[in-house]
Structure 1
Amino acid sequence: MNNTSPLHQQFIRPKSPSSMFRFVLALAFLTSFDVTSVFAALMMNRECTSNGNYCYRSDVCAYVLNFQSSENCSCPEVEQLVTAVHEVAANVELLGHRIDLTEDQKETIVFQQESHGNIIDQLNETLKADREAMKELERRVDTLPNDATVADALGSIQDSVDDLELRFMRQRASLEGRDANLTKCLGEVTYANRQISNLRYEVAMRDAQMTGKNRQISNLRHGLTAKNAQIASLQGQVTTLRQLAVYPNVAVGKPAYQSSLYTRSTPAGAGNAVDGNRNSYWSGLSCTLTEHQYNQWWRVDLLNTYIVDEVVVTNRRDCCAERLVGAVVRFGSSSYLMSNSKCGSTVTSYQTARWTTIRFVCSPHTRGRYVSVQLEGQNNYLTLCEVEVHGYLA
């Protein structure tokens, strides 16, 4: 056997103790020998070659191959053995890597198992809660009414629904009727609004016209004011003329009448007031006197239509002048006293206390035939000492 062949050298000179150890393990595995015995046999039967490499004696083959002699042992067999051992060592090393990878995968699987365990615990809790909920539902189902009760309740509900539907249909019909009425009312309102618009336009036009008329009225008022001033001036002139002019007394000797006659003393008939005598004393036998009654009156008939300017009444001076307070003088064409116009104003106590003669101015251009003196609304005697009617024939 050539102890210096490259393959033999590679075999008998392991590069490191780990390679040697793997060689011994492989050899022990293949030969089913104790690792320690094989290693000791290898170490005890080595010899040194000329190049410094180790070479094992040929009897090692016999020992390893379990032969009794070394004649059948040759180096090629050892080389084959070494080759096989190297292949086994490579496979062992690969197996070691795989074992390492398997350990990592085992750790990963353990972690996943732990995670899966947590998920399983959560699922168990959820399942437990679901079971409790299922039990609660079963309990509620047990408490539900039977089919007959439910059917009755559903029938009642259906009746209520039918009633509600009927009411809804009625209300809907009513609302449709109201909508129709509202539509009609809206049409009427629209028409009314148009009329109102037209009326507003007319009012605006009339307002414009009224504005113009108001201007005219304002101008007329200014003109009327000027005319009133002229009338006032003319009235002043007429008053002056009246004071200057003296119309004749057209009542002297005309028929006179009174409401009653006082008979318990000297006769004092109605004619005493138109006898032309202004004596204001009772002793002069020229005054009239009625009974003490309500609304006593005196009247003269002028027998023709006259335009009267004024009436002058002479009151009693010696006594009882206040009896004439409240007297009213009227002039007109009616024999009914209250139908005629009033001359002047009602006699006051101020007038009777200061003057014996009281003047009553009648309205200008008033035509009439009858002149009267009456205590309107009074309950007293009526005494007149003279009544003068100044005017002219109409």
Structure 2
Amino acid sequence: MIPHIDETHAADLASWVSTANGHPDFPIQNLPFGIFSPRHGQPRGGVAIGDQILDLSLAARSTLFEGGAKDAVDAAAGPLLNAFLGGPAQERSALRRRLSALLAAGAPDRAEVETWLYPAVDCRMHLPARIGDYTDFYAGIHHALNVGILFRPDNPLLPNYKHVPIGYHGRASSVRVSGAPVVRPQGQRKAPDAEGPEFGPSQRLDIELELGVWIGQGNALGQPIAIDAADQHIAGLCLLNDWSARDLQAWEYQPLGPFLAKNFMTTISPWIVTAEALAPFRIAQPARPAEDPTPLPYLLSQADQARGAYAIDLEVAIATAAMRDRDEPAFTIAQGPASNLYWTLAQLVTHHASNGCDLNPGDLLGTGTISTPDDSGVGSFLELTRGGQKPVTLPSGETRTFLQDGDLVRLSARAAALGFVSIGFGDCVGQIASRVAA
């Protein structure tokens, strides 16, 4: 069941936290969950509101919560959100509604709630949950086409693409929160005209603009998830950058797919924007071309097709070391909608569990790179530079085919719909660091 719109989404709802009103990412209509630590403190659950973070460990000691909201705040108060994510969706929704009421302008318990707030600038963010498993899909059809044209111009999409959501299992241990340095990976690479491979730092380091999907309640081993129930298993979304070493990938990916080219680092934004907060931004999945195959019955739901996509605008910006030294603004290289996904998030979840695979609270799914049909919003340098053949010229005069040491990449996103306050995801940032010899 898709979460419904309620009083927490009202456009005229304001907060006594003044910086929340008009905040580009975290107005009171958002209230995303994450794990933070205040200065000299231990990690604990928190909620972003304007430029503040509400401490859920303090909230859990209060008498201002009862019923499902009390159970949810207790589950979210600790150093990991797995129990909170895996709890009943009704309890997560009850906590969100209670927090909204406590933070709303005119709330009678403001004096107590104010003692739960920390300035976000003084806090450190952590991974929101223990990620047991991470799976990366390939659901952005324009990315698949753009890349396919580079290597198979006469047949860019493989025959299975429009029948089955393609994915691979990534490395959960190397998922890091926004701001962690991205150490340039090394591995085997082979130039097309070389007799054999060599070992060394990647020369074709790239980004992948994706959404991350946080699994809430899981499923038992051997028990598939029906397409009409899949939304109940999605707790929320984040931004995800699946850094990719294209030269390593080109040499290693046959016959088993990505390995060292992908598992060295994945960066996510620290806040989980909940399924409940995103309710006003659900839209119809774009219709497939008439000649495309109809999804098999286990992947097809009319309700999912009617509201299975999201009105989320995505952006990628880069700031080189030279640009930052001169205080020049980051340069936007891509802007595009998340609706460019060929498969809905519910379809990804359903397919993942269709063979009986068990998903668990805190598991993370990546959508795959989300790109536009033209160059305005491609989610990787591989596409933008045509495999390195068409360098991008930045306002600083520098050029890029792939990332260089010192480059900082920022992903951002905003959900927007007529009649509602837009909400954001916060930054997903990574800076390329050179590999220091051991």
- In the superposition, the TM-score normalised over structure 1's length comes to 0.18
Report which structure shows greater RCO (CA 8 Å, sep ≥6).
Answer: 2
- Structure number with greater Rg is 1
More strand by percentage: 2
More helix by percentage: 1
